[in-house]
Structure 1
Amino acid sequence: MFNRSRLTVARKRAGLTMKELAAKTGIEPRTVTGYEAGEYLPSEDVAKKLARTLGFPLSFFLSDDLDIPREEGVSFRSMSKMTARQRDGAIAAGAIAFLMSDWLDTEFDLPVSAVPDMREDTPQSAAAGLRDFWGLGNRSIKNMVHLLELRGGRVFSLGEDGKEVDAFSVWRGEKPYVFLISQKSAERSRFDAAHELGHLVLHKHAAPNGLEAEKQANEFAAAFLMPEGPLRAVGRITGLPKVVELKRAWSVSVAAMTYRLHELGLVSKWTYQQLFMEISRRGWRTDEPMQMCREQSQVWKKVLDNLRQDGAGVDRLSSNLSVPESEVVKLLFGLVTMGVPSTPNALTTPRRGNLRLVK
């Protein structure tokens, strides 16, 4: 039976309103509204036309309801810059990510969530407490994506056109999800990951939007990535070379390190202003000095390696899920290297993989 929730998700992924979809398919707007409301079903010919227009296989619309992220539970960072169309498209991408995650659970053994509820803590105490809980000490975190996956989080990319759709996170039952924008530097993407982790621990199953929630998530991210103790041991900072050295050691942006040093009182207000003037003059607000490599997913690398052993790749995953390959690619873009399978039509022997994540 044609599934109305899947029609809604496909339409929003295509960036279309119901009226625009009706115009493209040559049917009445009220008819599309009726399909999505579940008032009646499209004929086979109309269903095929809808599928062609939206770029999804017909089989996608003929399966169970999709679990769609609740808008009030999603932690969008830049609500003021984002259009409703962009917001809806990102949430619909979350529904496809849930579908991919469910497939992972049926095929592989992955860590359960170890992301605690720390709603009663301040951002700084939550950051220190989580480092202690995860046994990180005061060391620099090598890879935020690996860390999230190791602790049971599911990480996806947002390969969207336009930076207005920023990183976001959401709880789905007891499983945390983080979505990272692919159009940022590796350093800023790391901070985004820590920011979203802050939302997950500080605002679990709450409405994590608003200026105060964003401020708390930023404070958490800064304290989590740049713990106070080691920075205080460095002492007062008077010049940009030392800031760049620290930025490299802790794998953050030069701007984030400068702000953190000022926050801890290790940089005077005058020096802080001079540092940012110099950072801007050198173009380091967007292009980082000594850029680090973008962090990739350990989970999805192992999954695709497993598929390649059977002569398949992303195309096999998209076929299994009945979603366009482009949707899978967008959700994995930047997180893993994707290649063309050597034998696209190879048959896969069903088996259950055992993915073991290591620190």
Structure 2
Amino acid sequence: MLTPSRLTLARTRRGLTAAELARKSGVSARAIGEYERGQRRPKPATVESLAGALAFPAAFLTAPEPPRPQSGPDDAQATAAAQLAIEFNGWLERLFVLPQPNLPPPRTSPGSTRAAWRLDDGPAPNMVQLLESRGVRVFSLPVDCAAQEAFSCWHNGTPFVFLNPAATPEQARFDATRQLAVLLGHDEPVEFAAEFLMPEKQFYGTGYRRWLARRETSKLLTKVFRVLRENGTTPLHVAKELNLGLEELNGLVFGLVLTALPGGGEPGPRGRARLTLVH
């Protein structure tokens, strides 16, 4: 049976209006609107037609209600991608013990945040991995959302950060820190990020410029895919578990981890593996 909000999510993720989806699927725009409002139930063949036009498996459209973040950007397509990432995170949390959210109190200053996290006076370390170690889930926006700036949101007490795939390594690092400030409720996230990344007492020297040139990757997601691979679960298996195409899954981790990994077997490790991040 079709889940109305799933049809809306898939259509929004593809950046289509009801009229555009109608032209691609052969289903009338009026019927699509009624399906999305739950006023009519489509036949299985119609669900297949809609799924094919949307490039989603039909099972995606009949799965339970998708998660809804507490906030999101104005770009509906990017918000839809965030919903898919939050759903992916929920799947991971059913298999792994991930770091729990551990952020300082709201509006904690950059210096106090560094002190609470026991950072020295040098440049901040890999920001993606630092955030992950404090329970922040970091994902990439798919490349078709490259016009959307990095953003953050909360879902059921878990903070999420979404980075722009087109950003330079320097910009992505700054964006991750700026979104930390947003999660902490700061009114001036740019100033917070600048002070957090490089305290005033530090010299902006060659070593820091070399650091800026690095592409920051995800230690958490790298561990996840490694453990899954060791249990015979490929990224393709993961995508099928989520009722997504592999390209959609790759878009959520683009630049953060290599997912084109070898390995076959039955999907899903047995039991729960404990993942810990050490800095």
Which residue number in structure 1 is paired with residue 192 of structure 2? Answer: 220
Determine the structure 1 residue equivalent to 2:255. 334
Residue 25 in structure 1 maps to residue 25 in structure 2: yes
- Aligned match for 1:128, one of 92, 111, 114: 111
Distance in 2 of aligned mates of 1:140 and 1:313: 36
Name the aligned partner's letter for residue 272 of structure 2.
R
- Residues in 1 aligned to 2:63 and 2:200: alpha-carbon distance in whole angstroms: 51
Contact 2:68 2:155 in 1 (8 A): no
Separation in structure 2 between the aligned mates of residue 247 and residue 321 of structure 1, nearest angstrom: 40
RMSD across aligned positions (CA): 1.9
1:308 is paired with a residue of what secondary structure?
A: helix
1:121-153 Cα deviation digits (max 9, x unpaired): 5xxxx1111111111132322210110000000
Aligned pairs for 1:137-286 within 5 A: 137-161=120-144, 163-202=146-185, 213=187, 216-231=188-203, 245=206, 247-248=208-209, 251-252=211-212
Q: Which amino acid aligns with 1:54?
A: L
Letter in 1 for 2:23: A
C-alpha contact (below 8 Å) 2:228/2:269 kept by paired residues: no
Query: How many residues are aligned here?
Result: 279
- CA, structure 1 residues 184+352, in 2 after alignment: closer, same or farther (shift >3 Å)? same
Q: Retained in 1: the 8 A contact 2:122–2:198?
A: no
Take 1:16 and 1:61, find their aligned partners in 2: how far apart are those partners?
16
In the TM superposition, what is the alpha-carbon distance from 1:340 to its structure 2 partner? Answer: 4.0
The answer for the alignment partner of 1:351 in structure 2 is 271
- Judge which range, 182-191 or 93-102, deviates more: 182-191
Once the two structures are superposed, what CA deviation does each residue of 1:202-236 show, in whole Å capped at 9, x if it has no partner? 25xxxxxxxxx4xx1101100110112334xxxxx
Alignment of 1:291-302 (within 5 A): 292-302=213-223
Match of 2:90 in 1: 102
CA contact (8 A) 1:311 1:341 kept: no
Higher radius of gyration, 1 or 2: 1
Deviation at 1:18, TM superposition (A): 1.2
Q: Matched residues in 1 for 2:243 and 2:201: separation?
A: 50
Aligned match of 1:236: none
The alignment partner of 1:161 has SS state of helix
Give yes or no for the alignment of 1:325 onto 2:252: no
Q: Secondary structure at the match of 2:120?
A: coil
CA contact (8 A) 2:123 2:208 kept: no
Contact 1:157 1:181 in 2 (8 A): yes
> Post-superposition shift, 1:162?
6.0
CA spacing shift, 1:340–1:226, aligned 2, 3 Å: closer
**8 Å contact from structure 2 (residues 78, 145) kept in 1:** no
User: Which sections of structure 2, spanning at least 5 residues, go unmatched?
Assistant: none
Report the alpha carbon displacement of residue 105 of structure 1 after superposing the two structures with TM. 0.9
> TM-score by structure 1 length?
0.73
Are residues 347 and 127 of structure 1, via their aligned partners in 2, closer, same or farther at CA, if it must alter by over 3 Å?
Answer: closer
How far is 1:244 from its partner?
Answer: 5.3
Give the Cα–Cα distance (whole angstroms) in 2 for the partners of residues 301 and 247 of structure 1: 25
Q: Is contact 2:124-2:198 (8 Å) kept?
A: no
Unaligned runs of at least 5 residues, structure 1 = 77-83, 204-212, 232-242, 253-291
Look up the SS of the partner of 2:202 in the other structure.
helix
Could you tell me the TM-score, scaled by structure 2's length? 0.93
Cα distance between partner residues in 1 of 2:161 and 2:172: 11
Paired with 1:68 and 1:90, the residues of 2 have a C-alpha distance of 13
Deviation string 1:174-207 (CA, Å, 9 cap, x unpaired) is: 211001112122111100100111100125xxxx
- Say if 1:27 and 1:348 are closer, same or farther in 2 by CA, change over 3 A: closer
Deviates more, 1:61-70 or 1:184-193: 61-70
